[in-house]
C-alpha cells in the first residue's frame, strides 16, 4: 500500500478517491478490531483489552507522513497507525489478546506484553543490526504513561548525531540524519514529569521530533480540568513555541475528525522536523474514546449524557464517513458493502487466531488425558486422579496452566508408587514445564555470542617501571582510547563536557572530540537516560552519566520499565547497548554517599550492575561492555579518584570479566565478600585480623548482576567453612542478596560450620562528616570485631571474648 503523504491538491481525483477509501478501510478495520476485541475480553478468552478506537484519523495522517528510517515511540492507542503501515494485522491483534507464545503468530512480544503494545524488529537472527533505514521502525511500547517520552528524545537526537558527526558508519542507521522520531501520548499523560522534561530537553537540543497529543478531554475518568493548566495543553506549552529570535517548538493544533486538515498538519510537521531539525507538537483535539479507557470499565459511569451524545456525533470515523458521502467520493452502498466485508474479515481473523492459539494445546491435552488414565488405573488413588482427568476432559479449551496444574496435582497422589505409568507422567510433566518456561522467561539477557559474560578477561599490562597516578587519570586516558576506537561512542551528563565531569575523569576530552560526543546536559536525569536509550536503539554507543548514584532514582522508572526489560519484552528483537556511568558509595554526605545496591539489583534485572573497587577495574568494565551489546550500570567509587594506582600500558584494551569474582587475598579461616569502596576497608581489616592469628580470605564480588557465574565463592567457603558478606547498603539489601546467592544458589550451606552473616550500614542515610560516615557505615573496627566474634564462637579458648 502506498502511504506517501499526498493531499487533494497534488493528485488526480481517482488517486484521491483511492487514497480516501484506503484510509477509510483501515479506519473501519481498526475500529471493528477494537469492538470485537473488547468482546473477547468480556467472554474471558482474553484477560485485558485496551484499544485505539476514537483515534483512527490522526493516526492515518501520521502514517502517511512516516518514512523509511523513521521511528515511533508511542503508547497503547496506536493500532490504526500500525495497521496503516502494514505492521499489524487483525489476526496479530487477536493473538496478542490471547497471549499466544509463538513469535510467528504474535509478532509483537510472543504473548509477553498486553495487547496494544507494538514493536518492529531491529535485529537479524544472529543478533546483528538490520538496515534500519530500509524499514519503518517502532520502539517497544510500555504501559507506564509518558514512559515512552524519554526514549523519544534519544531516538530524535540520534538523527542529529548522524547528520553532524563525521567518520561514523551510519549505513544501517541513518541517511544524513533525515529521520524523524514520532511520539504519541494521551492528553492526560502530559501531566507527567517525563513528558514535560522531554519537551524542555528537546527544545534545548533542537532535535527532529514530532509529538502527537491525542486529546479526548479525559484521563480514564478524570476530565481535563484536573490535568492541565487552563485545561489546554497547547496553552500550557505556549512558552515553548519558537520565534524569529529564539529556538523552540513548532506548535500545531488540529481537530481529530478533520481529515484534510490532519493530512496537511502532518505533512507540515514532517517537513519542519526532517529538514530543519526542529521539534514539533501536534495537539489533536476533539477526539473520542467510544468504549471508554479499557475493558476494565465503562465510560458511561463518569461521562454525562450530553458528553456521550457529543462523542457519538463527533466520532472521527463517523465524521469521516459523512465527509466522504458529502464530497461525492463514493456512495452509501459502496461504503456499506465495504463495512460488511471488513466485519467478516475481522470475525474470520478472530476465529483463526483462537483456533491457532489452541492448536498446540490440544495434542498435549490429549496425551495428558491418556497418561492420567493409565496412571489412575494402576494407582490406589484412582478416584482422585480420575477426577483430575475428567475435569481436564470437560475443559475443551485448556490453557497451559490448566494442564500443568492437572499433571502436578496428579503426581501428588502417586507419591511412593513405583511403576512405568507414574514415570511416564513424571517425564511428560518435566518436559512440558521445561519446554514452556523459556517461552515466558528467555531473553532477559543476550543469549548469543555478544553476551557480556562471554567477553574474556584481558589483564592490564604494566611496564617494568610503572608510574602511579590518580585513579581518575586511568579512567580519563582509557576513555580517550575508547572514543578513538569507537567513533559511535559518546558520553553526556551534568558537568560531563566542559569540565570533564565533577571528578575530571573526562578532563580535556571535549576539546579533542567535540561538544556532540562529550556533552553537557541540563539537570534532568530521566531524559539523560532517555537520550541514551533512544540513541542506543539506533546503533550509537552512548554512555549516559548520572552525576551521583543517589540521583539515579530520578531515572529509575525509565531504567526498570524500559531499558532493563527491553530485550525480554521484545523476545530478543531489539537491543539497547546503553552504559550508565555513575559514582557512589562512601563519601561524607547524606546525599552524595549512598549505596542503594539492593534497590537496583532487584529493580534492574536485565541489566548488568558492576561495582569496581578501583578505577583500573572500572576502566576494564567499560572496555568489556563496548565489546558487548547489553545495557549496564557502572558505579565508580567516589572516594577512589585521587587514590594512586599503577597505570596500565594497554589502555582501551584490557577487559575486566563480568560475572567473575576476584580473590584479592587468600586465607583459610573465613571468607569475606565485599565490593566497591567497602572492599578497601575489608582488606585493611583482614590485615589487622592476621595480627591476632585469623587468616581471612577476601573476595571482591565486582559484578552484582550477575554474581559469580562460575561459583568460585563457594569453593572458598568449602575451604574456610565460614562466611561474612560486608557492604554499605541498608540491612537486608545487597549483602542479603549475595548471601542468598552463595548459601542457597551455590549450595554453600553444606560447608558452613557456623551461621553465615552479613555486616551492612545502618538503616538510615549516611550522616554528614567523618564521624557521620564512621557511625553510619561499616568501618575497619566493625569488620574486625564481627569476624573475631564469629571465630570466638567456635574457638573461645583461643579467641577470648573481645568486648
Contact status, residue 195 vs residue 166, Cβ threshold 8 Å: no
14 pLDDT band, cuts 50/70/90, is confident
Q: What are phi and psi of 366, to 5 degrees?
A: -60, -45
b/e per residue 58-85 (b: at least 16 CB within 10 A): bbbbbbbbbbebbbbbbbbbbbbbbbbb
pLDDT per residue as tens digits for the range 249-290: 999 999 999 999 999 999 999 999 999 999 999 999 999 998
CB contact set of 625 (below 8 Å; sequence gap of 6+)? 452, 577, 579, 608, 632, 634, 658
- On whether the CB atoms of residues 551 and 502 are closer than 8 A, the answer is no
The CA-atom distances, in angstroms, between 275 and each of 30, 72, 132, 161, 271 are 32, 18, 19, 14, 6
Decide whether 53-77+102-328 matches 662-794 in CATH topology: yes
- Look at residue 442 and tell me whether its pLDDT is greater than 90: yes
pLDDT score of 1 more than 90 = no
Does residue 6 surpass a pLDDT of 80? no
In CATH terms, the fold of domain 662-794 is: Rossmann fold (3.40.50)
Lowest-confidence range among 221-225, 252-256, 284-288, 585-589? 585-589
Least confident of 295-299, 387-391, 488-492, 739-743: 295-299
Q: Is the pLDDT of residue 293 over 90?
A: no
Q: How far apart are CA 370 and CA 472, in angstroms?
A: 68
Quote the DSSP letter at residue 732. T
CB 211 within 8 A of CB 183: yes
In degrees to the nearest 10, what's the CA dihedral of 589, 590, 592, 596? 130
Provide the 3-class DSSP secondary structure of residue 401: helix
Mean pLDDT of 223-233: 91
CATH of 452-646, one of 3.90.105.10, 3.40.50.720, 3.40.50.970, 3.90.400.10: 3.40.50.970
Mean residue pLDDT across the chain: 95
pLDDT at 4: 41
Residue 801: how many CB atoms within 10 A of its CB?
8
Whether the upstream peptide bond of residue 706 has omega within 30° of 0, thus cis, is yes
User: How far apart are alpha carbons 284 and 211 in whole angstroms?
Assistant: 10
- Residues 739-790 have pLDDT tens digits of 999 999 999 999 999 999 999 999 999 999 999 999 999 999 999 999 999 9
In this structure, what DSSP letter does residue 134 have?
A: G
Burial of 305 (0-12, 13-18, 19+ CB in 10 A): exposed
Asked if 532 contacts 581 with a C-beta cutoff of 8 angstroms, the reply is no
Q: What is the pLDDT of residue 10?
A: 63
Contact yes or no for 638/586 (Cβ under 8 A): yes
Q: How far is CA 180 from the centre of its chain?
A: 22
d(CA 201, CA 198): 5
- What does the H/E/C string look like for 338-351? HHHHHHHHHHHHHH
Each residue's pLDDT tens digit, 653-699: 999 999 999 999 999 999 999 999 999 999 999 999 999 999 999 99
| C-beta contacts of 754-757 below 8 A and 24+ residues apart | 754/721, 754/722, 754/790, 754/793, 754/794, 756/722, 756/723, 756/724, 756/725, 757/723, 757/724, 757/725, 757/786, 757/790
User: Any idea which residue has 571535549 for its cell?
Assistant: 510
Report whether pLDDT(8) > 90.
no
- How many other C-beta atoms can be found within 10 angstroms of the C-beta atom of residue 475? 28
d(CA 772, CA 768): 5
- The neighbouring-strand residues paired with 123 are 129
Give the catalytic positions in this structure.
Answer: 592
Q: DSSP string covering 650-682, please?
A: STTT-BPPTT--EEEE--SSEEEEE-TTHHHHH
122-135 mean pLDDT: 97
Residue range 616-642: mean pLDDT, rounded: 97
DSSP state of 699: E
DSSP state letter for 123:
B
* Residues comprising the chain, all counted: 803
Contact between 407 and 434 (Cβ < 8 Å): no
CA–CA separation, 527 and 463 (whole Å): 42
- Lowest mean pLDDT: which of 75-84, 217-226, 690-699? 217-226
Strands 662-665 and 696-700, by their bridges, are antiparallel
Closest CA to 101 of 418, 364, 408, 473: 364
Report CA-CA distances (Å) from 442 to 202, 567, 606: 35, 9, 11
Task: Give per-residue pLDDT as tens, 542-551.
Answer: 999 999 999 9
Residue 21 pLDDT > 70, yes or no? yes
Parse the chain into domains and list their residue ranges.
53-77+102-328, 365-437, 452-646, 662-794
pLDDT for position 636: 97
Helices (H), 292-331: 305-314, 316-326
Q: Are 637 and 614 in contact (CB under 8 A)?
A: yes
Q: What is the CATH number of domain 53-77+102-328?
A: 3.40.50.970
Residue 2's pLDDT band (boundaries 50, 70, 90)?
very low
C-alpha cell at 641: 579518584
Query: What band does 292 get if pLDDT is binned at 50, 70 and 90?
Result: confident
pLDDT band at residue 295 using 50, 70 and 90 as cut-offs: confident
Amino acid at each position: 500500500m502506498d502511504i506517501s503523504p499526498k493531499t487533494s491538491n497534488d493528485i488526480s481525483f481517482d488517486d484521491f478517491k483511492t487514497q480516501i477509501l484506503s484510509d477509510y478501510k483501515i479506519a473501519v478495520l481498526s475500529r471493528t478490531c477494537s469492538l470485537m476485541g473488547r468482546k473477547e475480553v468480556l467472554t474471558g478468552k482474553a484477560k485485558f483489552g485496551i484499544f485505539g478506537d476514537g483515534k483512527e484519523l490522526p493516526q492515518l495522517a501520521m502514517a502517511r507522513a512516516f518514512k523509511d528510517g523513521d521511528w515511533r515511540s508511542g503508547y497503547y492507542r496506536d493500532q490504526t497507525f500500525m495497521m496503516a503501515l502494514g505492521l499489524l494485522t487483525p489476526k496479530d491483534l487477536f493473538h496478542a489478546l490471547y497471549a499466544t507464545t509463538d513469535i510467528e503468530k504474535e509478532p509483537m512480544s510472543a504473548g509477553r506484553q498486553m495487547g496494544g503494545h507494538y514493536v518492529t524488529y531491529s535485529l537479524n537472527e544472529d543478533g546483528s543490526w538490520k538496515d534500519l533505514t530500509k524499514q519503518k521502525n517502532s520502539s517497544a511500547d510500555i504501559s507506564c504513561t509518558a514512559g515512552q517520552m524519554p526514549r523519544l528524545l534519544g531516538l530524535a537526537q540520534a538523527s542529529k548525531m548522524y547528520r553532524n558527526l563525521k567518520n561514523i558508519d551510519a549505513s544501517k542507521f541513518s541517511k544524513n540524519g533525515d529521520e524523524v522520531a514520532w511520539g504519541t501520548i494521551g492528553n492526560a499523560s502530559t501531566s507527567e514529569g517525563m513528558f514535560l522534561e522531554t519537551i524542555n530537553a528537546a527544545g534545548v537540543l533542537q532535535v527532529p521530533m514530532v509529538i502527537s497529543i491525542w486529546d479526548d478531554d479525559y484521563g480514564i475518568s478524570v476530565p481535563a480540568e484536573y490535568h492541565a493548566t487552563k485545561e489546554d495543553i497547547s496553552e500550557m506549552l505556549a512558552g515553548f513555541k519558537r520565534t524569529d529570535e529564539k529556538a523552540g517548538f513548532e506548535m500545531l493544533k488540529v481537530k481529530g475528525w478533520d481529515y484534510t486538515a490532519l493530512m496537511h498538519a502532518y505533512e507540515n510537521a514532517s517537513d519542519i522536523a526532517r529538514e530543519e531539525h526542529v521539534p514539533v507538537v501536534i495537539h489533536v483535539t476533539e477526539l473520542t474514546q467510544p468504549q471508554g479507557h479499557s475493558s476494565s470499565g465503562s465510560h458511561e459511569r463518569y461521562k454525562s449524557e450530553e458528553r456521550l451524545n457529543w462523542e457519538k456525533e463527533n466520532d472521527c470515523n463517523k465524521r469521516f464517513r459523512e465527509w466522504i458521502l458529502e464530497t461525492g467520493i463514493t456512495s452509501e452502498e459502496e461504503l456499506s458493502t465495504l463495512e460488511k466485508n471488513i466485519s467478516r474479515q475481522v470475525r474470520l481473523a478472530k476465529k483463526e487466531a483462537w483456533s491457532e492459539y489452541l492448536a498446540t494445546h490440544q495434542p498435549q491435552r490429549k496425551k495428558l488425558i491418556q497418561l492420567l488414565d493409565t496412571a489412575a488405573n494402576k494407582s490406589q488413588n484412582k478416584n482422585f486422579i480420575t477426577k483430575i482427568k475428567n475435569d481436564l476432559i470437560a475443559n475443551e479449551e485448556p490453557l497451559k496452566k490448566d494442564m500443568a496444574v492437572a499433571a502436578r496435582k496428579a503426581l501428588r497422589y502417586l507419591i511412593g508408587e513405583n511403576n512405568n505409568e507414574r514415570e511416564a507422567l513424571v517425564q511428560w510433566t518435566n518436559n512440558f514445564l521445561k519446554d514452556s518456561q523459556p517461552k515466558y522467561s528467555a531473553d532477559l539477557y543476550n543469549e548469543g555470542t555478544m553476551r557480556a559474560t562471554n567477553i574474556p578477561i584481558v589483564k592490564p599490562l604494566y611496564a617494568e617501571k610503572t608510574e602511579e597516578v590518580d585513579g581518575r587519570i586511568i579512567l580519563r586516558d582509557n576513555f580517550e582510547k575508547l572514543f578513538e576506537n569507537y567513533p559511535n561512542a559518546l558520553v553526556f551528563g551534568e558537568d560531563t563536557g566542559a569540565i570533564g565531569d565533577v571528578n575530571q575523569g573526562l578532563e580535556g576530552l571535549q576539546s579533542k572530540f567535540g561538544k556532540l560526543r562529550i556533552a553537557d546536559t541540563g539537570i534532568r536525569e530521566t531524559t539523560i537516560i532517555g537520550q541514551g536509550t533512544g540513541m542506543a536503539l539506533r546503533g550509537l554507543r552512548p554512555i549516559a552519566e548520572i552525576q551521583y548514584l543517589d540521583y539515579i532514582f530520578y531515572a529509575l522508572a525509565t531504567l526498570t520499565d524500559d531499558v532493563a526489560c527491553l530485550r525480554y519484552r521484545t523476545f530478543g528483537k531489539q537491543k539497547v547497548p546503553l552504559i550508565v556511568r555513575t559514582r557512589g558509595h562512601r563519601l561524607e554526605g547524606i546525599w552524595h554517599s549512598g549505596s542503594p545496591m539492593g534497590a537496583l539489583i532487584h529493580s534492574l534485572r536485565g541489566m548488568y550492575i558492576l561495582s569496581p573497587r578501583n578505577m583500573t577495574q572500572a576502566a576494564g568494565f567499560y572496555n568489556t561492555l563496548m565489546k558487548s551489546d547489553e545495557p549496564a550500570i557502572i558505579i565508580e567509587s567516589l572516594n577512589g579518584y585521587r587514590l594512586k594506582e599503577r597505570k596500565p600500558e594497554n589502555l582501551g584494551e584490557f577487559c575486566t570479566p563480568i560475572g567473575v569474582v576476584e580473590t584479592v587475598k587468600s586465607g583459610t579461616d573465613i571468607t569475606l565478600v565485599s565490593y566497591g569502596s567497602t572492599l578497601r576497608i575489608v582488606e585493611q581489616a583482614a590485615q589487622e585480623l592476621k595480627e591476632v592469628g585469623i587468616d581471612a580470605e577476601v573476595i571482591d564480588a565486582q559484578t552484582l548482576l550477575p554474581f559469580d557465574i562460575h561459583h568460585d565463592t563457594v569453593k572458598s567457603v568449602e575451604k574456610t567453612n565460614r562466611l561474612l558478606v560486608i557492604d554499605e547498603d541498608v540491612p537486608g539489601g545487597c549483602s542479603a542478596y549475595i548471601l542468598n546467592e552463595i548459601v542457597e544458589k551455590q549450595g554453600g550451606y553444606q560447608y558452613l560450620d557456623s551461621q553465615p552473616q552479613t555486616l551492612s550500614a545502618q538503616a538510615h542515610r549516611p550522616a554528614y562528616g567523618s564521624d557521620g560516615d564512621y557511625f553510619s557505615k561499616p568501618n575497619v573496627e566493625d569488620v574486625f570485631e564481627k569476624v573475631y566474634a564469629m571465630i570466638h564462637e567456635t574457638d573461645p579458648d583461643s579467641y577470648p571474648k573481645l568486648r
